[in-house]
Chains A and B, each alone.
Chain A
Amino acid sequence: MDLTRRSFLKLAGATAAAATLTGVGLRKASASTDEPLRIKYTKEYFTVCTFCGVGCGVICNVRDGVIVNTEGDPDHPMNEGTLCPKGVAHYNVSYMFDEKGKPKPNPNRLTKPLRRKPGASDWEEMEWDEALEAIAKKFKETRDETFIEQENGVMVNRTDAINWLGSAFCNNEENYLFKKIISSSGIVNFDHCARL
């Protein structure tokens, strides 16, 4: 990945190139002003917007492992640096500004596996290992109790008692793993939000 200095120049260069194409001359940086750009010395990553299906390019500027700025990718042919309000607001998924303008993590992001036990009126935190084991046991129990191996003389390898919803939020690789899991364990109540 490019270091900030280069990426900043690249950004500036991209803007200048676009400007040249449309015949617009930008005023050069003033020598009298020594105003630093706040994305100086950040690492620049290219990513794809997480919202609608257009698939716009988004640049994330990262300093010390933390996003400090998100804006449209000028090199991306789909959006050419532009973005809608959701695309522009990516930063808010992780961070927000308090009333003094200081960044803080979005307090509503989930950071621990949670469980609400039957009848309980609140969540309790748990460890990943515990959560995965508990879910796997319940999964197996339900599957084994309701499994239909043969029907009408055909091997149908099916359970009707587990529903699984995949997601248009997940990547192709993630959804592909879902498909493999449900196909091997016999889940047929399987859909996602494209049906809605």
Chain B
Amino acid sequence: MANSICLIDPAKCMGCRGCQVACKQWNQLPAEQTTFTGTYENPPRFSADTWLRVAFREHDLEDGNVDWYMAKLGCMHCTDAACMQACPAGAIYRSDEGTVNIDEVKCIGCNYCVTACPFHVIGFDRLTNKARKCTFCHDRLVNGMEPSCAQACPTGAITFGDRRQLINRAATRMDQLKAAGNPNANIYGIDELDGTAMLYVLADNPEKYGLPADPQVPVQTRIWNAIFKPLRILVVVAVAFGLWANRAETKEIEQAKKGEK
């Protein structure tokens, strides 16, 4: 478990998306082509180039009013990390700081982590055949700086700091939110997946912010991890071969595309 974590407090989030753009800026991620689909939420899903998204969720209330919730979403850096268990190549590792990171050199592009992640935050880069996701700005972290999303956040909706203290703070905030008329206020990320390095204090149920109510490591990932992974050397070879073939195909497709232009 990470000693330093982020506390995300959506009641303070005004949906400015400073964090979303700061993530792209620091991590040098290109913009995606998007369209307006009837919501402010954009891009619509995580990808190799989008590691952080702000959810915009509207909920009509019985009295005719609307709750408009916004929250930063992204890799949770779980203790019981499905992606780590799913990875056959040992490319996903826990850093000394407690963050969950992908070693792109070791990544064989099998996509298993992408499907295993209960938060759907891992993107797959078709150009390089690598899985990519939030690194918790590991390079900043080890150099004594806070993650770029937390630094950008104007209102304190993302706070970076010591895990124990932020858990205490989350408890205080939960009491405040309850007192302010939010009976469903809860803390998300202490018990979930044995604790996550992105801790949320929510005014309402997690689904209303686009978070799964009960995130789990998929059963097949657990079985895979327990039974087959010891044999993974063989598997890696097999998968790598399969991907080599696949990659050749991808290259062909790309060349065909270029030809069209």
Contacts and interface: CB of A to CB of B under 8 A. Distances in A.
A55 to B, nearest CB: 14
Contacts of B64: none
Interface residues of A, number: 43
Contact of A71 (B4, B28, B138, B148): B148
Given A15-B146, A72-B152, A84 B140 contact: no
Interface string A1-44: 00000001001100110010011111111101101111000000
B154 A83 contact: yes
Interface in B12-44: 16-18, 20-22, 25-26, 28-31
A12 B145 CA distance: 6
* SS of A interface (majority): loop
A99 B18 CA distance: 22
B247 to A, nearest CB: 16
A33 B142 contact: yes
Contact of A29 (B29, B142, B148, B152): B142
Interface stretch (A90-98, A140-148, A173-181, A188-196): A90-98
A74 B144 CA distance: 14
Contacts of B194: none
Residue with the highest number of chain A CB atoms closer than 10 Å, among B25, B141, B165: B25
Contacts of B145: 11-12, 15, 37
A27 B97 contact: yes
Given A12-B145, A82-B18, A72 B96 contact: no
B26 A33 contact: no
Contacts of A11: 145
Contact of B25 (A12, A69, A101): A69
Interface residues of B, number: 38
Residue with the highest number of chain B CB atoms closer than 10 Å, among A36, A70, A101: A101
Contacts of A8: 143
A63 to B, nearest CB: 14
A87 B148 CA distance: 13
B179 interface: no
Contact of A23 (B28, B49, B144, B165): B165
B3 interface: yes
Contacts of A96: 30-31
A71 B152 contact: yes
B25 A98 contact: no
A20 B113 CA distance: 37
Nearest to A74: B151
Interface of A: 8, 11-12, 15-16, 19, 22-30, 32-33, 35-38, 69-72, 74, 79, 81-85, 87-89, 91, 96-101, 103
Interface of B: 3-4, 16-18, 20-22, 25-26, 28-31, 49, 95-97, 127, 138-146, 148, 151-154, 160-162, 165-166
27 contacts: A12-B144, A24-B161, A26-B4, A27-B4, A29-B144, A30-B95, A30-B97, A30-B142, A33-B96, A33-B138, A33-B142, A35-B142, A38-B139, A69-B25, A71-B26, A71-B148, A71-B151, A71-B152, A74-B151, A81-B151, A82-B153, A83-B18, A85-B18, A89-B25, A96-B30, A99-B127, A103-B28
